[in-house]
Structure 1
Amino acid sequence: MLRGVLLDLDNTLVDQEAATADALRGWLPAIGVRFSPELLSLWDEIQERHMEAWRARTVTFGEQRRRRLREFLPLIGIGYAEEDLDEIFGGYLAAYESAWRAFPDVDAALAAIAAAGLSVAVLTNGSVEQQHHKLARTGLTGRVGPVFTVEDVGAAKPDPAAFLGACARWGLSPELVLSVGDRHDLDVLAARAAGLRAVHLDRRDEGPHDEPHRIRSLTELPLSSGL
């Protein structure tokens, strides 16, 4: 029987993509740059590259932010002093945090999980401080059970060790846990490699469409069948 639902956070519970876009729309004009979809794509690409280094624990969380700016600012024609990088990033961060919102289907999904008698937890590749802050800002603190991060379990998705570490700390055997997330590679394939069941939350219908356990909303979670 299914005992627990292990949820991803960014773009599963909280609309991180919309928050990033809204933050750039507010922050870029403040530093003299017009927002464009191309700059959003560039920011996302640079962010992922340097977040990967942080997840591999080769840089600190603060340093990955500085590295993102060192790469991004010259490409948009903005000069900077090294000692000002944290302050510059703070402008973006304030706009980003103010844009955090939970998806509309989260409340109903959490209620359904509770009604099914299942435990819930979060496994995220984010940092402890930021992700707990995100849950607080979106009203989800205390509603999603334990929160496991890279810093807690010592591994990042898609390493199966991240899922095994979360399950061990949660006190549930992997085969009794359903992983749910928006990234097929990180939240589905990696979870299955660790022995969990998994569902792909494909809000935008981007596929892969041959995934047999794919849902478009958290309200479609297969809680009774457990897959």
Structure 2
Amino acid sequence: MKLRGVLLDLDGTLVDHESAAAAGLRAWLPSLGLAPTDEAVARWSTLQEAHLAAWRAGRISFAEQRRRRLRDFLGTGGSDAELDEVFAGYLTHYEREWRAYDDVAGALATIAAAGLGTAVLTNGTRDQQRCKLAATGLGGRVGPIYTIDDLGVAKPHPDAFRRACARWGLAPGAVLSVGDDHALDVLGARAAGLRAAHLDRLGRGPAGEAHRIASLAELGGLLSSGGGRDRAV
């Protein structure tokens, strides 16, 4: 089946969430009387993923995962309203740090030159992710955006990819998924019948992945070879 579209992840693929989260945290912690240490950043990242996973599974709300993250990180309680106010302080700094990766503009041009469409499939919330794209200059440049709010299911569940493709009007086999999380963006996509490539910016592997690129600048070579057709499932 001819490749017709590239389905892009957002955080870690188009926008440098990890750097924004770390910089935002370091700027925010002193306002709480806490030291912005490497250990604090690592702990925040670990807690973030644990509570986001519970939200993606539908066990808690998005607001609640933020509150639980704060309770665990600070070791304190507080009402929902109090915790929301504290978290808003972090968000202010985090949002100031949103940046698109340097290789994004070139990759979008390469995809367009190949006659392919683009869309975004993200495990973030609709409002935040649309704001993120707008703030980084990517709003209106990446095609339709599909979120958990829109689809009712998160990656890596195959239905997230199937529903995104259905809304996009493309058969799964005609779509290449590109993302930085191998389990979410690659294995999940292949389980749904899409082609997939792992964007491994930090060289974390897995080493056995045949369709791996270190930068979106390498996407052109992958597209010219058929978009990973031999590893679609």
Say whether residues 1:23 and 2:6 are aligned partners. Answer: no
Say whether residues 1:225 and 2:220 are aligned partners. Answer: no
Say whether residues 1:120 and 2:105 are aligned partners. Answer: no
Which amino acid in 2 is paired with 1:135? L
TM-score by length of 2: 0.93
Aligned to 2:186: 188
What is the Cα deviation at residue 224 of structure 1? 2.0
Q: Is the 8 A contact 2:4 2:174 kept in 1?
A: yes
Q: Is the 8 A contact 2:26 2:41 kept in 1?
A: no
Aligned to 2:208: 210
| Superposed CA offset, 1:146-193 (max 9, x none) | 000111111111101100010011000000000000011111111011
Q: Distance in 2 between matches of 1:195 and 1:58?
A: 27
Aligned to 2:94: 96
Q: Map 1:22-61; keep pairs closer than 5 Å.
A: 22-61=23-62
Aligned to 1:134: 132
| Superposed CA offset, 1:10-59 (max 9, x none) | 00000000001100110001111011111111111111111112112222
Q: Distance in 2 between matches of 1:37 and 1:159?
A: 33
- Structure 2 unaligned residues grouped into runs of 5+: 229-233
Say whether residues 1:62 and 2:59 are aligned partners. Answer: no
SS where residue 223 of structure 1 aligns? helix
Aligned to 1:81: 78
Percent of paired sites with the same residue = 62
Which amino acid in 1 is paired with 2:13? T
Which amino acid in 1 is paired with 2:26? R
- Structure 1 unaligned residues grouped into runs of 5+: none
Q: CA RMSD in A?
A: 1.0
| Superposed CA offset, 1:93-130 (max 9, x none) | 00000000000000000011111110000000000011
Q: Is the 8 A contact 2:5 2:174 kept in 1?
A: yes
Q: Distance in 2 between matches of 1:183 and 1:86?
A: 29
Q: Map 1:2-21; keep pairs closer than 5 Å.
A: 2-21=3-22
What is the Cα deviation at residue 212 of structure 1? 0.5
Aligned to 1:159: 157
Which amino acid in 1 is paired with 2:73? F
What is the Cα deviation at residue 81 of structure 1? 3.1
Which amino acid in 2 is paired with 1:62? A
TM-score by length of 1: 0.96
Q: Distance in 1 between matches of 2:83 and 2:174?
A: 45
Of 64-73 and 173-182, the range deviating more from structure 2: 64-73
Q: Distance in 2 between matches of 1:202 and 1:27?
A: 29
SS where residue 223 of structure 2 aligns? coil
